[in-house]
Amino acid sequence: MTEQFGRPIRYERESLEDLRTALVGYGLNEDFVRGMVDMKRAKDNGLDSDVIRTPDTTSRTTFEQWCAQTLKPAVGRLTD
């Protein structure tokens, strides 16, 4: 992402309570927010840890390719 956008991009983990507060602050429906927080909690507790990456369960697209082909154009549309 840093390479695609030409500036440092970093991930900063937030608590589930901070996530909930932010989503509610954006005006999202409380039930939707609860579902998002519950899903994040399940992922934190290993929901995806048993998924074996194989050619049948993954894409040949690399993260770098996805950033260039999908993310960068989408962010560009938001900032234009």
- The three state secondary structure string of the chain is CHHHHCCCCCCCCCCHHHHHHHHHHCCCCHHHHHHHHHHHHHHHCCCCCCCCCCCCCCCCCCHHHHHHHHHHHHHHHHHC
pLDDT computed for residue 52 by the predictor: 87
What are the 10-residue block averages of pLDDT along the chain, 80 residues in total? 93 95 98 98 92 86 94 83
Domain boundaries, the chain: 2-79
pLDDT computed for residue 80 by the predictor: 60
